[in-house]
Amino acid sequence: MRVGHGSHPSRRVAPRYPCPVTLYAAYGTNLDPGRMSERCPHSPLHSTGWLRGWRLTFGGEEHGWDGSLATIVEDPIEQVFVAVYDVTPEDESELDRWESADTGLYRKTRVRVVTMSGELVVWAYVLDAYEGGLPSASYLGVLADAAEAADAPADYAAGIRARACRSTGL
């Protein structure tokens, strides 16, 4: 929490950025604040919350080097845990490269995130490929570790670890 000089500590003051920021909802490996600080050093964690009416799934097996890739799809009875970041334009360009949005593999879509302090309209990456296929066990482990690093509920991370996965054949 940032407070102005002489202000009451319980009064929240909006952070001031040298440039405009947009809110980004991370649901995959970018849930991990450490990973995000490496990829986007100027984009702090804003909050965590839930994408209600969406579910975590996998697709684009032909595009992944180790199985299907994480994405979200609309589903009226599901929800996905997310970390919301204040992303600067510079970091957004870098994140687009990391997520292959600059090649068209992922596209950005606007979603609503429910947080403890209210609802936010943010953007998230959605895979531009068919749903289906299996992720690798190692990829599921990275996703679950990222969820744990973002303080997702233990049953959420355990659910990721318990998903069906692709056998490596090794």
Sign of CA dihedral 14, 96, 50, 121: positive
The answer to whether position 4 is within a domain reads: no
pLDDT confidence of residue 64:
64
The answer to whether position 138 is within a domain reads: yes
User: In CATH, what number is assigned to the domain containing residue 78?
Assistant: 3.10.490.10
The answer to whether position 43 is within a domain reads: yes
For the annotated binding site for substrate, the residues are 139
The number of domains in the chain is: 1
pLDDT confidence of residue 19:
52
Q: How confident is the model at residue 139 (pLDDT cuts 50, 70, 90)?
A: very high
Whole-structure pTM value: 0.84
Residues linked to residue 108 through DSSP beta bridges, in sequence order: 125
For the annotated binding site, the residues are 139
pLDDT confidence of residue 167:
73
Instruction: List pLDDT tens digits, range 141-155.
Output: 999 999 999 999 999
Q: How far is CA 9 from CA 5, 48, 115, 133, 170, in A?
A: 10, 22, 21, 50, 56
Q: Cα 128 to the chain's mean position, in Å?
A: 16
- In this predicted structure, the answer to whether residue 11 has a pLDDT above a threshold of 60 is no
Annotated active-site positions, please? 99
Average pLDDT, the chain: 85
pLDDT confidence of residue 115:
93
The answer to whether position 10 is within a domain reads: no
The answer to whether position 17 is within a domain reads: no
Print the domain residue range for 49: 22-143
**Which tokens is 32 given?**
């991990």
pLDDT confidence of residue 14:
42
Share of the chain above pLDDT 90, in %: 67
Contacts of 128 (CB under 8 A, 6+ apart): 104, 105, 106, 107
Instruction: Give CA–CA dist 158/161, Å, rounded.
Output: 5
Instruction: List pLDDT tens digits, range 34-88.
Output: 999 999 999 999 999 999 999 999 998 777 667 889 999 999 999 999 999 999 9
Query: Residue 104: phi, psi to the nearest 5?
Result: 95, 0
- Tracing tokens 């957004």 back to the chain, one arrives at 92
pLDDT confidence of residue 168:
59
